[in-house]
Each structure stands twice: as structure tokens, then as C-alpha cells.
Structure 1
């Protein structure tokens, strides 16, 4: 279990004419407008917007964004909402389905549950 406070995680699908670089820049602008200050990697934050996939594009580079997001397959809190949106999604590099990646997680996903109304 993480030592960070509980948080809400979600996923959205968008259509855009922006490049992945410009889209990530816009996401960071939104984070900043909510008071996000980047100090320590993986610290708790008010808002964290990540670009997980961009039409299956693969971009491995030191210049963000890396696509797909490099830790997607390791994070149940990312994979579960992705599965809700796109149950047939496959990792563009490994070809693994989102369900296969969830099944392969060694972390305890019992602490992750859907919000209820």
C-alpha cells in the first residue's frame, strides 16, 4: 500500500489536432493552474494529468512525452480506468491487452475501487 494519501484517478479519451508534445504542454498548464508545483518525482499532488497513449504512437526519447507512458503496465490505478474506457486497448510496444497487464500485476489492487454516486 502506498504511503500517499488516497486519490481519485480517471481516464478520458479526447480527439485533438494537437501534437503529443503540445497536448502534454496543455496538460501541464492545467496542472499549474490548480497549483501544481513539481518538486519531487512521484510526490502527492493536487492534480496530475498524464498522456498515456496517443493513437498507438511509440516515442521513446529523453524529450517528453514518452509514448506510451513508460509506467502504464505497472500501475493498476491507470490500467483499471483505461480498461473501463477501452477494454480492447493494447500496449503499442508489447501488444499485451489491458486485461492481461492487469492480471500480471503483482501489486494488491484490492485498494482500488470505483467511485460510487
Structure 2
């Protein structure tokens, strides 16, 4: 299956996403914020990026814009509890959005469509 980089600052949520994605047969890489994600992408070559938008140190918005400067092909799914943020993120380069909270089925469906 796919190699997925999950960027999420909330430990419980990160564990949930990892468990669901591994259960679906994916390899999961983890980061707790956007700092260093460009280096992880360069070194590990994930097939998909699943990222929260609101995080300390480096927010998802900044990270997505930075990634899109050098990598337009990597599918990106953005997540947030704030619907107004999700409206903006498509313009910044995310391929899909998930509004929190969402179900296992929502996550696996979004990942399958993005891949």
C-alpha cells in the first residue's frame, strides 16, 4: 500500500490516524508539527501527506505553501475543526479536506480518493 506522512500536534488524534491507516495496510510516518516536514518528504518520499492546519511552531497553511513551491505532485489532505480554514486551504494547494471530527470511514475514503 502507500506510505503516508501524518502531521498532527494532538497525540490522541495522531494515534487514531496512525491506527486507522496502518489497519488499512499503509505505512505511516509521523510528525508532531510542520517543522522539518520538507526534509522528511525529501528523504522518505511519502505517497500522501495528511496534515492538521492549526499547529504550534509551523502551521499547516505555511507548510502546504512551502511544499507546493517545490512539490506540486504530492497529494495533500488538510484537516481542521474550523470549516472556514478548510475553505481557504484548497486555494493553497491541498487536494482534499477533512473537517474534524471525522470517522474511520471518512479518513479511509479520503485517502483512497487522494491516492
Q: Give TM class, smaller chain.
A: 0.3 to 0.5
Higher percent of residues as helix: 2
Larger Rg: 1
Normalised TM-score (structure 2): 0.34
TM-score by length of 1: 0.34
Structure with greater strand share of residues: 2
